[in-house]
Amino acid sequence: MRKNMLFMLICGWTLATIFTSCGYDEYADADYPETTIYQPMALESIWNIDTPNPDGASYVTPGGSKRYEIDKANNKFIVLLGVVQSGIEFKSSTVDISIDHSIVNTMIMDGRLPIGTLPLPAPAYSLPSSVELMSDAAFSPFRMEIDLNTLLDADNRGKKFAVAVKISSMSVAVNDGLDTAVICIDTNFIQDLM
């Protein structure tokens, strides 16, 4: 009986020590990187649109598998884009969206874009000037709408058009190297789709 009592006392003391010595922290004390934003399309040096939409999930459009949509009723070729925030705490912020023509021109001149690639004419596309990231979401999508007639024009057959979409923000850091997505669209592919 004494052995059982002594055994129970030791077990009780051990369990009490184990459970009272552990504290729960949602995040352990450490130096975490700050929240940053980036464009997942920029993970590819050139985001080519020259093949059908892939099957399966896409890292570019979470939950989706498409790089583009065609809206025949409104005569639009829609490139699906987005901004992702990474870090331990998401922030609500405004992300500015712009076009950087100098990047495409430089890539054409130094041969990083295929021979014959042209900058996408500014009147041929539209995109929002900003997008809102919410503190409860890691991803915020946006769309670049391109006039389908520009891509289908017989004079443009065989041409490739490129555009550089850049993000910036005053309230959250941008991941260097992943702030600009260079999109290259093959008109032969688009014309073959139609």
pLDDT per residue as tens digits for the range 136-145: 888 899 999 9
**φ and ψ at residue 123, rounded to 5 degrees:** -70, -10
User: Residue 1: pLDDT band by 50, 70, 90 thresholds?
Assistant: low
pLDDT at position 72 over 60: yes
**Which of these, 168, 140, 156, 36, lies nearest to 80 by C-alpha position?**
140
| Distance between first and last Cα of the chain | 88
Q: What angle do CA 39, 37, 106 make, to 5 degrees?
A: 45
